[in-house]
Structure 1
Amino acid sequence: MATKKKAAQPAAKKTAPKAAKSAVKKSAVKKTASSKKVKYVYTWGAGKADGNGGMKALLGGKGANLAEMTRIGLPVPPGFTISTEVCTYFYDNSRTYPVSLQAEMEAGVKNMEKIMGAKFGDAKGMPLLVAVRSGARDSMPGMMDTILNLGLNDETVLSLAAATKNERFAWDCYRRFIQMYGDVVLGVQKAEGEDHEPFEVVIETFKHETYHKDIIDSDLTADDQKELVKRFKALVKERTGKGFPTNPWDQLRGAAGAVFGSWMNDRAIVYRRKYNIPAAWGTAVNVQAMVYGNTGETSGSGVAFTRDPANGKNEFWGEYLINAQGEDVVAGVRTPENVSTLKAALPKPYAELMKVRTILEKHFTDVQDIEFTVQEGKLFMLQTRNGKRTAAASLKFSMDMVKEKLIDWETAILRNPAEQLEQLLAPIFDLADVAKAKTLATGLPAGPGAASGKIYLNAERAVLAEARGEKVLLVRTETSPEDLRGMIAAEGILTSKGGVSSHAALVARQMGKVCVCGAGGVEIDYDKKTVTAAGKVFKEGDFMSIDGTSGKVFGGELKTAPSEIISGIVSGDKAAMATEKFKGFQQLMKWCEQATRMSVRTNADTPEQTRIALAFGAKGIGLTRTEHMFFEGDRIDAMREMILATTLEARKAALSKLLPYQREDFTGIFTVLKGLPATIRLLDPPLHEFLPHSKEQQNDLAKKLGVKVETIIQRVSDLHEFNPMLGHRGCRLGIAYPEITEMQARAIFEAAADVAKKKIKVKPEVMIPLVGFKKEFDLQAEIVHRVAKEVMSEKKVKFEYQVGTMIEVPRGALTADQIAENAEFFSFGTNDLTQTALGISRDDMGAFLLPYVENDVFAKNPFATLDTTGVGQLIETAVAKGRQTRPDIKLGICGEHGGDPDSVVFCHNVGLAYVSCSPYRVPVARLAAAQAAILEKRAAAAAKKK
Structure 2
Amino acid sequence: MSELGFTEITASAPIVTTRHGGRAKCLQRLIRLDMPVPRTVALDFDAVHGVSAGEMPDLKAMLDLFGPDPLLSVRPSSEDPDWGGPSAILNIGMNDALHAKLVGSHGEAAANALYLRFIQSYAVHVGRLDPDDFDAADAPTAEALQDALELYEEETDSYFPQDPQVQLAEILRSMARAWEGTTARLLREAKGAPADAGLGLVVQKMALGVGKGLSGSGVMQFVNGDTGLREVRGRYLCKSQGRDALTAPDDSDVMYLTRDPRGRSIEDVLPQNFADLITYGDKVRTRLREEMQIEFTIENEQLFILDAVRVQRSERANVRIAVELANDGIIGHDEAVLRIPPRALAELLHSQVDPKGDRDVFAEGIAASPGAATGKIVFNARAAQAMAAQDEDCILVRRETSPEDIRGMHAARGILTIRGGITSHAAVIARGLGLPCVVGAGDLKLDKKKGKLIAPDGRVFREGDVITVDGAAGEALSGSVDLLPPELGDCFKKLMTWADEFRDIGIRANADTPPDADKAVMFEAEGIGLCRTEHMFIDDDRLLAMREMIFANSSEDRRAALERLLPMQRDDFTALFRIMQGKPVCIRLFDPPLHEFLPHGREGMRELAEALDLPISDVTMRVAGLREFNPMLGMRGVRLGVTVPEIYDMQARAIFEATIEVSKIGDPVVPEIMIPLVSAKREVEIVKTRIDAVAAAVRVEAEADFTYRLGVMVETPRAALRADEIAHHASFMSFGTNDLTQMTYGLSRDDAGRFMGEYVNQGVYVEDPFHTLDRDGVGELLEIGAERARGAREEVTLSICGEHGGNPESIAFCREAGFDYVSCSPFRVPVARLAAAHLAIQDRMAQEAEKAK
Scaled by the length of structure 1, what TM-score is found? Answer: 0.68
1:162 aligns to 2:100 (yes or no): yes
Q: Deviations over 1:504-558 (max 9, x none)?
A: xxxxxxxxx9xxxxxxxxxxxxxxxxxxxxxxxxxxx998999xxxxxxxx9737
Distance 1:467 1:910, change over 3 A: closer
For 2:277, the aligned partner's letter is: L
Aligned partner of 2:244 in structure 1 is: 328
**SS of residue matched to 1:355:** helix
Alignment of 1:744-755 (within 5 A): 744-755=651-662
Alignment of 1:804-819 (within 5 A): 804-819=711-726
1:117 aligns to 2:41 (yes or no): no
Q: Deviations over 1:852-898 (max 9, x none)?
A: 66667777665445445654444344333332322222122322333
Aligned partner of 1:939 in structure 2 is: 846
Q: Deviations over 1:54-82 (max 9, x none)?
A: x3x44443333234434554415412243
Whether the aligned pair in 2 keeps the contact of 1:292 and 1:299 (CA below 8 Å) is: no
Whether the aligned pair in 1 keeps the contact of 2:4 and 2:57 (CA below 8 Å) is: no
Distance 1:934 1:736, change over 3 A: same
Q: Quote the Cα distance in structure 2 between the aligned partners of 1:345 and 1:842.
A: 66
1:220 aligns to 2:220 (yes or no): no
Q: Quote the Cα distance in structure 2 between the aligned partners of 1:281 and 1:824.
A: 51
Distance 1:637 1:224, change over 3 A: same
1:82 aligns to 2:41 (yes or no): no
Alignment partner of 1:925 out of 823, 832, 840: 832
Whether the aligned pair in 1 keeps the contact of 2:10 and 2:31 (CA below 8 Å) is: yes
Q: Which moved more, 1:380-389 or 1:601-610?
A: 380-389
Distance 1:184 1:641, change over 3 A: farther
Q: Deviations over 1:349-388 (max 9, x none)?
A: 4343333222222222222233334455444444334434
Q: Deviations over 1:779-803 (max 9, x none)?
A: 4334333333333333332222112
1:295 aligns to 2:246 (yes or no): no
User: What runs of 5+ residues in structure 1 fail to find an aligned partner?
Assistant: 1-36, 88-96, 119-125, 189-197, 208-218, 429-448, 474-490, 492-512, 514-540, 547-554, 566-581
Aligned partner of 2:449 in structure 1 is: none
Distance 1:368 1:281, change over 3 A: farther
Distance 1:907 1:317, change over 3 A: farther
Whether the aligned pair in 1 keeps the contact of 2:119 and 2:148 (CA below 8 Å) is: no
Q: Quote the Cα distance in structure 2 between the aligned partners of 1:113 and 1:265.
A: 30
Q: Quote the Cα distance in structure 2 between the aligned partners of 1:724 and 1:764.
A: 29
Q: Quote the Cα distance in structure 1 between the aligned partners of 2:766 and 2:217.
A: 39
1:707 is displaced (CA, Å) by: 2.5
Whether the aligned pair in 2 keeps the contact of 1:320 and 1:338 (CA below 8 Å) is: yes
Q: Quote the Cα distance in structure 1 between the aligned partners of 2:79 and 2:183.
A: 9
1:186 is displaced (CA, Å) by: 7.0
Distance 1:423 1:127, change over 3 A: same
**SS of residue matched to 2:181:** helix
Whether the aligned pair in 2 keeps the contact of 1:42 and 1:49 (CA below 8 Å) is: no
Whether the aligned pair in 1 keeps the contact of 2:337 and 2:499 (CA below 8 Å) is: yes
Q: Deviations over 1:683-709 (max 9, x none)?
A: 222333222222222221221122233
Q: Quote the Cα distance in structure 2 between the aligned partners of 1:158 and 1:405.
A: 54
Q: Quote the Cα distance in structure 1 between the aligned partners of 2:680 and 2:159.
A: 73
Aligned partner of 1:703 in structure 2 is: 610
Whether the aligned pair in 2 keeps the contact of 1:134 and 1:286 (CA below 8 Å) is: yes
Whether the aligned pair in 1 keeps the contact of 2:217 and 2:238 (CA below 8 Å) is: yes
**SS of residue matched to 1:139:** helix
Q: Quote the Cα distance in structure 1 between the aligned partners of 2:269 and 2:514.
A: 61
1:146 aligns to 2:78 (yes or no): no
Aligned partner of 1:311 in structure 2 is: 227
Q: Quote the Cα distance in structure 1 between the aligned partners of 2:762 and 2:744.
A: 21
For 2:206, the aligned partner's letter is: V
Aligned partner of 1:121 in structure 2 is: none
1:43 aligns to 2:7 (yes or no): yes
**SS of residue matched to 1:309:** coil
Among the aligned pairs, what percent are the same residue? 36
Q: Deviations over 1:817-852 (max 9, x none)?
A: 343232221223233334444554443344455556
1:739 aligns to 2:680 (yes or no): no
**SS of residue matched to 1:49:** coil
Alignment of 1:739-818 (within 5 A): 739-758=646-665, 760-818=667-725
CA RMSD in angstroms, aligned pairs only: 4.3
Distance 1:749 1:471, change over 3 A: closer
Q: Which moved more, 1:842-851 or 1:681-690?
A: 842-851
Aligned partner of 2:23 in structure 1 is: 62
Alignment partner of 1:350 out of 264, 268, 274: 274
Alignment of 1:865-904 (within 5 A): 865-868=772-775, 871-904=778-811
Whether the aligned pair in 1 keeps the contact of 2:678 and 2:719 (CA below 8 Å) is: yes
Alignment of 1:533-548 (within 5 A): none
For 1:917, the aligned partner's letter is: C
Whether the aligned pair in 1 keeps the contact of 2:222 and 2:293 (CA below 8 Å) is: yes
Distance 1:663 1:202, change over 3 A: same
Q: Quote the Cα distance in structure 1 between the aligned partners of 2:560 and 2:790.
A: 42
**SS of residue matched to 1:316:** strand
Q: Deviations over 1:414-441 (max 9, x none)?
A: 344433334334449xxxxxxxxxxxxx
Alignment of 1:294-443 (within 5 A): 294-296=209-211, 298-329=214-245, 338-340=256-258, 341-344=265-268, 346-427=270-351
Distance 1:545 1:865, change over 3 A: closer
Q: Quote the Cα distance in structure 2 between the aligned partners of 1:930 and 1:679.
A: 24
1:455 aligns to 2:359 (yes or no): yes
Whether the aligned pair in 2 keeps the contact of 1:262 and 1:268 (CA below 8 Å) is: no
Q: Which moved more, 1:287-296 or 1:802-811?
A: 287-296
Q: Quote the Cα distance in structure 1 between the aligned partners of 2:357 and 2:279.
A: 43
For 2:546, the aligned partner's letter is: M
Distance 1:453 1:707, change over 3 A: farther
Whether the aligned pair in 2 keeps the contact of 1:131 and 1:288 (CA below 8 Å) is: yes
Aligned partner of 1:254 in structure 2 is: 174
1:557 aligns to 2:500 (yes or no): no
Whether the aligned pair in 2 keeps the contact of 1:600 and 1:619 (CA below 8 Å) is: yes
**SS of residue matched to 1:326:** coil
Alignment of 1:674-713 (within 5 A): 674-713=581-620
Alignment partner of 1:106 out of 40, 54, 57: 57
Whether the aligned pair in 2 keeps the contact of 1:545 and 1:557 (CA below 8 Å) is: no
Alignment partner of 1:133 out of 61, 67, 76: 76
Whether the aligned pair in 1 keeps the contact of 2:533 and 2:590 (CA below 8 Å) is: yes
For 1:354, the aligned partner's letter is: I
Whether the aligned pair in 2 keeps the contact of 1:450 and 1:545 (CA below 8 Å) is: no
Distance 1:259 1:752, change over 3 A: same
Alignment partner of 2:544 out of 632, 637, 641: 637
Q: Deviations over 1:122-180 (max 9, x none)?
A: xxxx255442425143634xx5431413856xxx5323413534665555455545655
Whether the aligned pair in 1 keeps the contact of 2:22 and 2:77 (CA below 8 Å) is: no
**SS of residue matched to 1:676:** coil
The number of equivalent residue pairs is: 740
Q: Quote the Cα distance in structure 2 between the aligned partners of 1:845 and 1:86.
A: 49
Aligned partner of 2:419 in structure 1 is: none
**SS of residue matched to 2:672:** strand
Q: Quote the Cα distance in structure 1 between the aligned partners of 2:39 and 2:363.
A: 42
User: What runs of 5+ residues in structure 2 fail to find an aligned partner?
Assistant: 259-264, 375-413, 415-435, 437-464, 471-477
